[in-house]
Amino acid sequence: MGLAAVILAAGQGTRMKSRYSKVLHAVAGRAMLRYVLQAAVGAGAERVVVVAGYEAPAVAESVAGEAEVVIQKEQLGTAHALLQTENVLKSFGGDIMVLPGDTPLLCSGTLRDFYSAHVKEGAAATVLTACFSEPAGYGRVIRDAGGKVERIVEHRDATKEELLVHEVNTGVYCFRPGIFDILRKISPDNVQREYYLPDAVRLLREEGSPVAAWEAADPEEFFGINDRRQLAVAERIIRQRVVDALMDAGVTVVDPAVTYVDPGVTVGADTVIYPFTFLEGNTVIGSDARIGPWARIIDSRLGDYVVVQSAVVIGSAVADRAVLGPYTYIRPGTDVGPGAKVGGFVEVKKSVIGEGSKVPHLSYIGDTEIGSNVNVGAGTITCNYDGLQKWLTVIEDDAFIGSNTNLVAPVKIGKGAYIGAGSTITKDVPPYSLGIARGRQTNIPEWAKKKPESEGKE
Ligand code: UD1
Ligand code: CA
């Protein structure tokens, strides 16, 4: 036995006015189809089949390795879409749960309860319903005098009376094995000339098979995304859920309305997130950190007690007690050590900043290994690129780089060495030496008095 999930994702989603498949539009940083996939797996589906059609290669790519994909060449309706899975599922002996690909707010716990109810009831089909205060656009659930589900009527095909029904079809169903024969009996005699999956409910009932409806407690989970306004509503709901979970785990979020955290990001307790902060992708933040205002952290790992203000951090690691910002750009492959400081208008790329080292002002540090307790003076630039390739700069422990230095790579500054301010360093500097490379200063006495422009000024 067991359960297979079929996710219907072949439609274009014309109301999105997009050249991309609707189900690939992102909600809180990931394609809406991925939320449905995760909910299906979380509900206990041992196989997941995605029906793709419009932009099928991109849809298949987004679920590669996690779901089987079947193609619906022409999108003739949701019943026709499900029928395309017959070949891959006809030998599968278990139940089939059908899910729309455009409902990213689904929760796996609800789907699990729904499936249990379906199994307990022993129905040929169970439709998951919800009562919406604004049911416009959804199929309405029509029940008979005894309260049993009779059929589902699409909004466009409904009579005035039927439109008054608030109980809607969520687009989630469970079918017992052998559903495919009934799908073949569905005809497209409706306003849209489509093969409607909800018609399976009516047909099963007509042939005397038991059909059930299970009403979900929280209608919000079944909000379907058909246009960009609804996409924005879903985005807000998911972000609120994520931020609520962080707060429940002991994170202070000063203003949830302007805090953007992707699902999957983890943040330690007692960290404070200030407004206009974006935590994206596979980001992990330690505890007791201060993040923002204005921080964008993507695919990065930050330690405990880290302080970040007005910074962009991508694909990097920042150790405990390090301080970034304001106005700092940390590019991929950077490793900021414990207690290190990277300050204002500093860009760092693919570099190591060792423990306790400081790059406080106006620098570019690229392809560089900085040891511990190094001080890099204001305006220091590593010249890592010669027009053909990138070269490494090494600055060993305890070195002191004077302000406005150019370090022309490949170059190595030894342990404890000093560089005079304003130097352009092209050769290695041995440990504990002073490297200085600039024109010597000449003072010309009385020069100002003698120069022509100042004649007659006295
Ligand atoms: C559908 C239901 C409606 C329900 C609503 C819930 C039908 C006829 N109507 O309406 O009763 O209230 O969902 O959200 O099923 N798809 C395909 N192939 C197709 C057509 C659609 O794979 O040929 C996919 C779409 O990509 C989408 C899903 O099925 O992910 C639902 O299709 P959509 O057109 O959004 O249906 P609704 O009009 O919302
Ligand atoms: Ca829909």
CATH superfamily of 3-222: Spore Coat Polysaccharide Biosynthesis Protein SpsA; Chain A (3.90.550.10)
Boundaries of every domain in the chain: 3-222
Vertex 353: Cα angle to 347 and 358 (nearest 5): 80
Which sequence positions are flagged as catalytic?
Answer: 361
Integer Cα distance of 100 and 92 in angstroms: 21
Helix extents (H) in 176-227: 180-183, 199-206
Integer Cα distance of 116 and 96 in angstroms: 13
Integer Cα distance of 371 and 396 in angstroms: 5
Nearest CA to ligand 1 atom 16: 11
Which among 27, 155, 181, 4 has a CA at the least distance from the CA of 103?
27
Question: Which residue shows structure tokens 């409910």?
Answer: 201
Pairing of strands 393-395, 368-370: parallel
Q: What is the pLDDT along the chain (458 residues), one digit of tens a residue?
A: 799 999 999 999 999 999 999 999 999 999 999 999 999 999 999 999 999 999 999 999 999 999 999 999 999 999 999 999 999 999 999 999 999 999 999 999 999 999 999 999 999 999 999 999 999 999 999 999 999 999 999 999 999 999 999 999 999 999 999 899 999 999 999 999 999 999 999 999 999 999 999 999 999 999 999 999 999 999 999 999 999 999 999 999 999 999 999 999 999 999 999 999 999 999 999 999 999 999 999 999 999 999 999 999 999 999 999 999 999 999 999 999 999 999 999 999 999 999 999 999 999 999 999 999 999 999 999 999 999 999 999 999 999 999 999 999 999 999 999 999 999 999 999 999 999 999 999 999 999 998 776 555 55
Which atom from ligand 1 is nearest to the alpha carbon of 138?
Answer: 12
Ligand 1 pocket, Cβ-based, cut-off 6 angstroms: 8-11, 23, 51, 72, 75-78, 80-81, 100-103, 138-139, 152, 154, 168-171, 196-198, 224, 226
Burial class (CB in 10 A: 0-12, 13-18, 19+), 241: middle
Q: Residue 411 has which token pair?
A: 């170059």
Which among 225, 267, 215 has a CA at the least distance from the CA of 243?
267
> Residue 170 Cα, ligand 1 centroid: separation in angstroms?
10
